[in-house]
Structure 1
Amino acid sequence: MSNTPLVNTPLLGLAAEQKSAEVTDWAARIGWLVGLALFVALVYWLMRQGWKWRATLQGDLPELPTAPSEPGPATLSMSGRYHGSTTAGQWLDRIVAHGLGTRSRAELTLTDAGLRVVRPGAADFFVPAAALREARLDKGIAGKVLAEGGLLVVTWAHGDTLLDSGFRSDHAAEHAAWVEAINSMNQTNTTEGAAR
């Protein structure tokens, strides 16, 4: 018997054919990441420019009224979210002038003087009672769509423009009381104006 080791020739051929794993091309990966970051920055910049352009186009809207120092006792109050304002009847035509396009938390207070909207981190505004036109329950406004009746939409006059402002209470059951109160306030103001 021979002491020579047996060599398995087919296994040697397989080992010779195998290649080592390809090394990652870091330069190409970094190039792609930088390109992607630049593309995202460009899209963000274009969106920002569009927002500014829209504000410029809406520059004819007057400054927002401020709340009177003595607005009277609160008829209703609510905390929730402000979802934005649009041109009345055109739920996708967002108003961005004077900070009306900024979504935020909101505290609403309805008095005989009007509707006060306090927004932490954004500009507060006040809608005088004479400017209130109507309130209704709706499902959407400029980029926010909810279940039917999930949004309180208040229509009001600002200068020569009618606006719709959308709010959502932390307790959606409150919406119906707000619709009734604002519409009855508007009806009272209309009746008093006609009597004069």
Structure 2
Amino acid sequence: MTPATLLAAGLATGLAAEEKSATVTDWGGRIGWLVGLALFVALVYWLMREGWKWRATLQGDLPELPARPSATTTLDRGGKPPLPGVPEDPGEARLAMTGRYHGSTTAGQWLDRIVAHGLGTRSRAELTLTDAGLDVVRPGARDFFVPAARLRGARLDKGIAGKVLAEGGLLVVTWAHGDKLIDSGFRSDRAAEHTEWVAVLNSMIEASTTEGAER
């Protein structure tokens, strides 16, 4: 081999050794970067959790949610009378649906999420509509019931706080609770059902309003 070839080979070997050395010495930097990233994610999570708790505190004046009719009898409620506006007999189901509950917001303000009383928790949901109202059963989360007298409207929409779907992909039910109007978003496992739910709910509300006006 010529001196030039030997020199080139020596340089190549030296460069390879330096690359290996750099790879080894880089581990400290990489570990530090990963630790920093983990701390940043933990900080973001903590801030989100604190924001959630702060929002729940601000909404502390929201009344407790009504229980379904089967849970409002005098016996079940420890001798207390049934809740106002919630009949003891829910009647036969008009509609039933399985799907997902995507959250609730102040009516007309789709980014103003409501988290008090578990309303901010997304979950699976089983909806049943009767003459008594709308029963929302949520496996793994808190159930709630909307008496028929408190239903204010239903529509198709595409989004609610933190969730955006295709146009008409969300069933939004507006209802009154305390002195607040609330929009709650649901998505059926069979989205074609949404249209029927909107029609039946609005028909119920219109009939109830007309009946109340005649009295």
Q: Same fold (TM over 0.5)?
A: yes
Q: Which residue of 1 aligns with 2:177?
A: 158
Cα offset, 1:31, TM superposition = 1.8
1:130 and 2:131 equivalent?
no
Q: Which residue of 2 aligns with 1:174?
A: 193
Q: Which residue of 1 aligns with 2:207?
A: 188
Q: Which residue of 1 aligns with 2:36?
A: 35
Q: Which residue of 1 aligns with 2:20?
A: 22
1:107-122 alignment, distance < 5 Å: 107-122=126-141
Cα offset, 1:176, TM superposition = 1.0
TM-score norm. by structure 1 comes to: 0.94
**1:9-36 CA distance string (max 9 Å, x none):** 1111112323212322222222222111
Q: Tell me, which stretches of 5 or more residues in structure 2 are unaligned? A: 71-88
Q: Distance in 2 between matches of 1:151 and 1:30?
A: 44
RMSD (CA atoms):
1.0
Following superposition, which runs of at least 4 residues in structure 1 exceed 3 angstroms of deviation?
none
Letter in 2 for 1:10: A
Letter in 2 for 1:12: L
Letter in 2 for 1:17: L
**1:88-127 CA distance string (max 9 Å, x none):** 0011111111110111110000000000000001100000
Q: Which residue of 2 aligns with 1:145?
A: 164
Letter in 2 for 1:46: L
Letter in 2 for 1:29: R
Q: Distance in 1 between matches of 2:128 and 2:134?
A: 6
Partner residue of 1:12 out of 6, 9, 26 = 6
Give the 3-state SS of the residue equivalent to 1:22 in structure 2: helix
Aligned length: 190
- Which has more radius of gyration? 1
Q: Tell me, which stretches of 5 or more residues in structure 1 are unaligned? A: 1-6
